[in-house]
Amino acid sequence: MTEPGELLLSVRDLRTEFRTDAGVVKAVDGVSYDVYENEVVGIVGESGSGKSVTAMSIMGLVPDPPGRITSGQAVWKGRDLIGLDDKALRGVRGGEIAVVFQDPMSSLNPVHTVGRQIAEMVRLHRRASRKQAAERAVEMMDLVGIPQARRRARSYPHEFSGGMRQRVMIAMALSCEPDLLIADEPTTALDVTIQAQVLELLQEVKERTSSAILLITHDLGVVAGMADQVLVMYAGKAVERGSAPEVFHRSQHPYTLGLLSSLPRVDEDAGTRLRPIQGTPPSLIHLPPGCSFHPRCPFARTPAPCVTDEPPLEEAVTPGHAAACHFAEEVSAADVLAPSPSSSADTP
């Protein structure tokens, strides 16, 4: 684990909804977390848990309409990003906070060379001549391990493999030396070997540049290998938050336990069946009463308190480790193995 530095980003009680014909979708519902210098914060959860919308909200990338941030703060180096106008946010995006998305092909412009696209980013956020920006592009491609960077800078996105395109995206994101890199499912579209290379690259980059990383993924194996702090999200809410060793080895929420149990393990016999979490995530328009996880929870006691009272996210068992469960202490005593850092699988 890395020693954290100064507080960079403080998100408090963030709420983002989407208005649809079927009703209001509460995609993010009162989420809070901090990101410090040099730190990797992992946000984990199933698809639709609100983890990406959490990050997109602070970057001003939620389309309005249908999306709307209804409350909360995202204080970046002392300035609240929520409600900043587009011009002010553009100054932060790319230069101070950069994003690497899941699908590099749709993020890169197919009609420009990758070198030009990285150089444009440099010119947009830094005072640099065309020549300096082009040199910086080559330097960054070299940094992220693209062979023959000077020659490859003249290639177009379709001339790169998926893994190399993701390296280009990381080079572009890092070209302006951001203080925070948001990596939104950076390895999901890649095969396992390339996934491992990209994660290793992110780790190296963090060590060399001291950037903080907000790593958004559905894959607990990815987070186990990299994150210092972990936020587990379910149905738009944070259900567990703490240091990675605490969350993985002393989980206090049955959902986190379920995610851990559903991972395939190298130390189990071949043919051992996976243990998926029963049921499916709830509709974000009609959430179950009380604890939203209760229809799927093996620890649930119904009707009270699990169906009648929504559990707050609180540090009831260990300081610095919070869970939203009425029976956090009992859950933390349950015997479930944590994933090895390299294990990786889709959560159900």
Establish if 259 lies at the interface with ligand SF4 (CB under 6 A). Answer: no
Establish if 326 lies at the interface with ligand SF4 (CB under 6 A). Answer: yes
x/- map, 216-255, ligand SF4, by CB under 6 A? -------------------------------------xx-
Determine how β-strand 180-184 pairs with β-strand 67-76.
unpaired
Give me the least distance between CB of 301 and ligand SF4, in Å please.
6
Cα distances from 348 to residues 52, 186, 202, 264, 275, in angstroms, run 18, 19, 26, 12, 9
Give me the least distance between CB of 230 and ligand SF4, in Å please.
17
CA separation for the pair 142, 132 (Å, rounded): 15
Measured from the CB atom, the residue of 115 and 254 that comes closer to ligand SF4 is 254
**Would you give the DSSP letter of residue 310?**
P
x/- map, 109-148, ligand SF4, by CB under 6 A? ----------------------------------------
x/- map, 268-297, ligand SF4, by CB under 6 A? -----------------------x-xx--x
Establish if 306 lies at the interface with ligand SF4 (CB under 6 A). Answer: yes
Give me the least distance between CB of 275 and ligand SF4, in Å please.
17
Cα distances from 64 to residues 68, 238, 283, 297, in angstroms, run 6, 24, 21, 35
Name which of 267, 221, 212 is nearest 244 in CA terms. 221
Give me the least distance between CB of 345 and ligand SF4, in Å please.
22
Name which of 1, 26, 25 is nearest 206 in CA terms. 1
Q: Which of helix, strand or coil describes residue 221? A: helix
**Would you give the DSSP letter of residue 95?**
T
Residues 260, 266, 267, 268, CA torsion sign: positive
**Would you give the DSSP letter of residue 5?**
-
Measured from the CB atom, the residue of 253 and 321 that comes closer to ligand SF4 is 253
Cα angle for residues 81, 40, 76 (degrees, 5° grid): 15
Give me the least distance between CB of 258 and ligand SF4, in Å please.
10
Establish if 8 lies at the interface with ligand SF4 (CB under 6 A). Answer: no
CA separation for the pair 224, 226 (Å, rounded): 6
Stretch that binds ligand SF4, among 65-73, 131-139, 216-224, 320-328 (CB under 6 A): 320-328
Give me the least distance between CB of 239 and ligand SF4, in Å please.
7
Number of helices and strands (H, E) in the chain? 12, 12
Name which of 261, 212, 259 is nearest 233 in CA terms. 259
Name which of 244, 272, 279 is nearest 258 in CA terms. 279
What are the tokens at 171? Answer: 């080079």
Which residue of 213, 284, 327, 344 would you call a contact of ligand SF4, by CB under 6 A? 327
Give me the least distance between CB of 27 and ligand SF4, in Å please.
20
Establish if 300 lies at the interface with ligand SF4 (CB under 6 A). Answer: yes
Measured from the CB atom, the residue of 207 and 309 that comes closer to ligand SF4 is 309
Give me the least distance between CB of 8 and ligand SF4, in Å please.
31
Measured from the CB atom, the residue of 230 and 297 that comes closer to ligand SF4 is 297
Give me the least distance between CB of 309 and ligand SF4, in Å please.
8
CA separation for the pair 28, 274 (Å, rounded): 29
Measured from the CB atom, the residue of 18 and 293 that comes closer to ligand SF4 is 293
Name which of 341, 274, 330 is nearest 299 in CA terms. 330
CA separation for the pair 217, 160 (Å, rounded): 24
Give me the least distance between CB of 331 and ligand SF4, in Å please.
7
Stretch that binds ligand SF4, among 64-72, 93-101, 147-155, 325-333 (CB under 6 A): 325-333
Binding site residues, ligand SF4, CB under 6 A? 253-254, 291, 293-294, 297, 299-300, 306, 311, 325-327
